[in-house]
Structure 1
Amino acid sequence: MAVPGAFSVAGIAVSGRMSGADLLAFKPTMDELLASGEDIRIVEVISSDYEGFGPGGLVEDLKLGLGTLFTRHAAFKRVAVVSDKEWVVHTVHLVGWLVPGELAMFGLDELEAAKQWAAG
């Protein structure tokens, strides 16, 4: 997804259970974003049916975070998390300090606002 006339914004949609295979499939996209040399702005939409990590999901998430994201911390400018799940909101507030760049939470009904914020 892109917001016209603004910085490029990458969109990520998460639903069901996130497995290690899902994260491994996403890693080339993240590597491509990092290789672009541009500021990274992300809108992550966590759907109502998201249930958390499935097999291998947590391990691959930690590998991606520690091995990729933290080594390029300055590349991340804004991350908007969009969800209506209370436990996701609480988790993001708890571990948000680990997320590189600015972080903001939005409800599912605020997707357009999240896109605009991430692009700003």
Structure 2
Amino acid sequence: MIEMLTDMPEGVAGIRVTGRVTGDDLRAFEPKMRQLLETDEVRFVEVIDPDYEGFGRGGLAEDIKMGFGVLFKHHSAFKRMAVVTDTEWILHTLHVLGWMVPGEFKIFGHDQLEQAKQWAAG
């Protein structure tokens, strides 16, 4: 599931992912992502809850499709992305694949959510 965070600093968007993220979840989120991309600067905080299990039905394929489409068309719009998680397998994955994220990228623990928001806004 993908949920929009409402308590974000000006100019920063945030989401929380929980459980299994399906293709339907990503398709429902796509209009919001398109709205974010209408700005010249995308500053983003993604909170990955401890109960996040990965992708469910159609999730990985939709994530790849949406991700590459966004990256190729809007690569320079991404300024800062903060990921908030304490889950070991996600941390390992981010350390391996983080170089693919456009703009500045930083990982924070759950106890550092406020710092992640401020960093993304900075």
Shorter-chain TM-score range: over 0.9
1:2 is matched with: 8
The count of corresponding residues between Structure 1 and Structure 2 is 116
CA distance in 2, matches of 1:58, 1:66: 12
Distance 2:90 2:73 in 1: 25
TM-score (norm 2): 0.91
Query: Cα offset for 1:98?
Result: 1.0
Distance 1:50 1:117 in 2: 24
- Contiguous gaps of at least 5 residues in structure 1: none
- Write out the 4+ residue segments of structure 1 that deviate beyond 6 Å after TM superposition: none
Report whether the alignment pairs 1:28 with 2:28.
no
> Which segments of 5 or more consecutive residues in structure 2 lack a partner in the other structure?
1-6
Residue by residue, what CA displacement relative to the aligned partner does 1:52-111 show, whole Å, maximum 9, x if unpaired?
000000000001111123320000000000011011111111111111111000001100
Counterpart CA distance in 1 for 2:107 and 2:100 is 15
Pick from 106, 109, 119 the counterpart of residue 108 of structure 2.
106
Quote the RMSD (CA, aligned, Å). Answer: 1.0
* Residues 44 and 82 in structure 1, CA contact (< 8 A), matched pair in contact too: yes
Look up the equivalent residue of 2:41 and give its one-letter code: D
Report percent identity of matched pairs: 59
Alignment partners' CA distance in 2, 1:95 and 1:71: 20
Residue 72 of structure 1 is matched in structure 2 by 74
